[in-house]
């Protein structure tokens, strides 16, 4: 029996990462061709500037190239791993420039050139939406104070000290909330769906 097309794509992307990890430039070029458009869109959404997003994307792909050998398919999907690298690179950039992510909605085209996003991103967007719905559902099972601290830690790029200031709580309390929240979140995500 042939693997589901979605699973086949994930397996292929994991192979491309493994090949990139041993210095295969063609595999990395293929990975770049698949991931650059959606990762660029993510960077634009986080930093709110096309020029900065281009720089961030370049930095992120350097990190992906250098760390491809450390990718572990048991921990995440290849695209999710790449998204994590781009998010961290974006938040590092914002912290370095002492900026917060934009709060208002961005234009529908995210400032990207017309036709920049390939049709292939539809699959990834569906995966991301499914993962987001699953995480949001699991977050609903986390106590309110832990959930708020977790949301800020996961989605704002704020440090624990900044979260403590925002929530007007001691840093130790925020650290405990985040840790317990992560444990509750993990337990909720591991529960079988009804």
Give the model confidence (pLDDT) of 44-101 as tens digits: 888 888 888 899 999 999 999 999 888 888 888 888 899 999 999 998 888 887 765 5
Q: Does residue 188 register a pLDDT over 50? A: yes
What pTM did the predictor assign? Answer: 0.53
Q: Choose among 17, 26, 33: nearest CA to 70.
A: 17
* Furthest-apart CA atoms within the chain: distance in Å: 56
Burial of 72 (0-12, 13-18, 19+ CB in 10 A): exposed
Residue 128's pLDDT is what? 59
């Amino acid at each position: 029996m042939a693997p589901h097309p979605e699973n086949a794509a994930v397996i292929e992307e994991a192979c491309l990462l493994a090949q990139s990890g041993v210095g295969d430039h063609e595999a990395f070029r293929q990975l770049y061709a698949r991931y650059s458009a959606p990762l660029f869109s993510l960077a634009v959404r986080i930093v709110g500037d096309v020029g900065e997003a281009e720089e961030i994307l370049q930095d992120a792909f350097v990190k992906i190239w250098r760390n491809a050998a450390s990718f572990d398919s048991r921990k995440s999907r290849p695209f999710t791993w790449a998204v994590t690298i781009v998010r961290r690179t974006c938040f590092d950039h914002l912290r370095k420039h002492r900026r917060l992510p934009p709060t208002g909605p961005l234009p529908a085209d995210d400032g990207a050139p017309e036709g920049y996003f390939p049709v292939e991103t539809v699959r990834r967007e569906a995966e991301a939406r499914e993962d987001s719905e699953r995480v949001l559902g699991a977050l609903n099972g986390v106590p309110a104070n832990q959930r708020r601290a977790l949301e800020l830690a996961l989605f704002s790029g704020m440090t624990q000290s900044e979260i403590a200031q925002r929530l007007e709580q001691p840093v130790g309390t925020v650290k405990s909330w985040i840790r317990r929240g992560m444990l509750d979140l993990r337990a909720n995500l591991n529960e079988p769906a009804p």
